[in-house]
Amino acid sequence: MSGGLLTTGYYLLLCVFLLLLVHRLLCRLSIFIASALVLIPLLPTGRSLVTGGFHGALNATYSTPPLLAQSWRLEETGYQNGNLHDVTTLMFPSWQVSREALRAGRVPFLNHANGMGELLLAAQEAVPFHLFTLLALPLSAAQSWTLALTLKFFFAILFTFLLLRELGVREEIALFGGSVYGLSTFLLFWNGWTMATVFSTASSGSFGVVPMALR
């Protein structure tokens, strides 16, 4: 089984399981709405997911030594935003080292791959025990990263949809509102950073509380 097929199948399985729980415990979902909730998060990451690739500016690592000498191998060598280096040189490496420790049955206290070692468990980059990290553990490095980013979009859209439904909004409009939030420029750009992990699930703490506060 190819990496892309495995990652895509795993994503669909997770989505179907979660939507069945939502349908049974929180609110009824039509086939159209459920399908849209699964497919809309794939707009930014779908190509990487189905090919088993890495979603991010991995080519940015070839703009400086030691990989600069190999940059001729790339089809695209233009870099429009230097901030994306943070993802490929800090966020993803820290996250991957924590994954390796968890897969080996160790608590990721230190990043042994950075100099003489640096704090890992206490740093914000690794999020080793977050749901997205744990769900992606069975996959390879690139596939797990892409799955985690896709799940951030999925959770952001789903829980914003549920919040709007709790407020009495029609499901089609609630889907639109969830998509606007889930695919906002903030989450699209910052998805590789930890703050997107927080904001992608922010609505989950609101969809049951906000309606109660307004009654």
Give 159-198 pLDDT, tens digit per residue. Answer: 999 989 988 899 999 999 999 999 999 999 888 888 888 8
Mean pLDDT score, 50-62: 77
State which H helix or E strand residue 166 sits in. helix 141-166
Which residue, 147, 123, 120, 152, is CA-closest to 135?
147
| Residues 57/84, Cβ–Cβ less than 8 Å | yes
Neighbour-count burial of 122, counting CB atoms closer than 10 A to its CB (0-12 exposed, 13-18 middle, 19+ buried):
exposed
Q: Which of 20-24, 48-52, 92-96 has the lowest mean pLDDT?
A: 92-96
Please tell me the distance from the alpha carbon of residue 114 to that of residue 39, in angstroms, as a whole number.
38
For 81, the token pair is: 């935003």
- At residue 125 the predicted structure's pLDDT band, cuts being 50, 70 and 90, is confident
The residues spanned by each domain of the chain are: 3-214
Give the pLDDT confidence score for residue 207 in this predicted structure.
62
Mean pLDDT score, 13-19: 95
Report the predicted TM-score, pTM, of the whole model to 2 decimal places: 0.86
| Residues 91/84, Cβ–Cβ less than 8 Å | no
